[in-house]
Structure 1
Amino acid sequence: MTDRTSGQPTYTLRGPDNKPCRSGTPGTLGGHRRGKLYGLLDCPSALCAMARGRYVRYRVFFADEGTAIAAGYRPCAVCLPAKYQRWKAAHKSRKGSTS
């Protein structure tokens, strides 16, 4: 999409409140809105799903990792395995402490 006043491209990213916001800079991470996960723009799993015609309608973008986390998304197990393992361990310990 292009901004009518400046002629510069604009991008729709997700903010920390998980609401769409406009940016003059493209996102650095992609995500899946329904799955609430984020990952690299060239994630093999996401690219494969998009090639099969899935995923695209739920694709979202984030400026950075902090924004994705604040919006409630988790790291992708395929393209960010170490971050996913840390998230999983933290999530598991939180679940165990509330039972």
Structure 2
Amino acid sequence: MKTYTLLDKDRRPYHSPTPGTLGGYRRSKIYGRLDCPSALRSIAKGQYVQHRVFFADEEHAIAAGYRPCGSCLRPKYRQWLADSEPQKATSDTERELHNDG
């Protein structure tokens, strides 16, 4: 019986009898569709493959700390970006406060 290696919510690999529904890039912590044009271009160039991971579903990818791909999951990426802006603004403000002192 064929098994597939997927990442769980804690970024630990496990074997599954069913393939993952999403692929990810470990270095940038991005997840997307298996047919993502951007990922497929990188794979065709021989890049990306050694850092490729797979997830059972979006819930696992998000829990593992991955963000949506800006190419194949554009609406989800935009929402992630909008949700991240308050954190970025807080970080920028804290940095400014530390630089003033």
Report the TM-score, using the length of structure 1 for normalisation: 0.90
User: Following TM superposition, by how much is the alpha carbon of 1:96 offset from its aligned partner in structure 2, in angstroms?
Assistant: 1.7
User: Following TM superposition, by how much is the alpha carbon of 1:94 offset from its aligned partner in structure 2, in angstroms?
Assistant: 1.9
Please name the residue that 2:96 is paired with: none
Aligned residue among 73, 84, 88 for 2:66: 73
Separation of aligned partners in 2, 1:77 and 1:61: 17
Q: What is the one-letter code of the residue matched to 1:83? A: K
Runs of 4+ residues over 4 Å off in structure 1: none
Bigger radius of gyration among the two: 2
The number of equivalent residue pairs is: 92
Identity %: 58
Separation of aligned partners in 2, 1:33 and 1:97: 26
Where does structure 2 lack aligned partners over 5 or more consecutive residues? 94-101
User: Following TM superposition, by how much is the alpha carbon of 1:92 offset from its aligned partner in structure 2, in angstroms?
Assistant: 1.2
Please name the residue that 1:41 is paired with: 34
Which deviations, in whole Å up to 9, do the C-alpha atoms of 1:46-89 show, x marking residues without a partner?
Answer: 00000001000000000000000000000000000000000011
Aligned residue among 6, 15, 30 for 2:8: 15
Separation of aligned partners in 1, 2:88 and 2:15: 35
Q: What is the one-letter code of the residue matched to 1:77? A: G
Root-mean-square deviation (CA, aligned residues, Å) is: 0.8
User: Following TM superposition, by how much is the alpha carbon of 1:93 offset from its aligned partner in structure 2, in angstroms?
Assistant: 1.4
> In structure 1, the residue corresponding to 2:35 is in which secondary structure?
coil
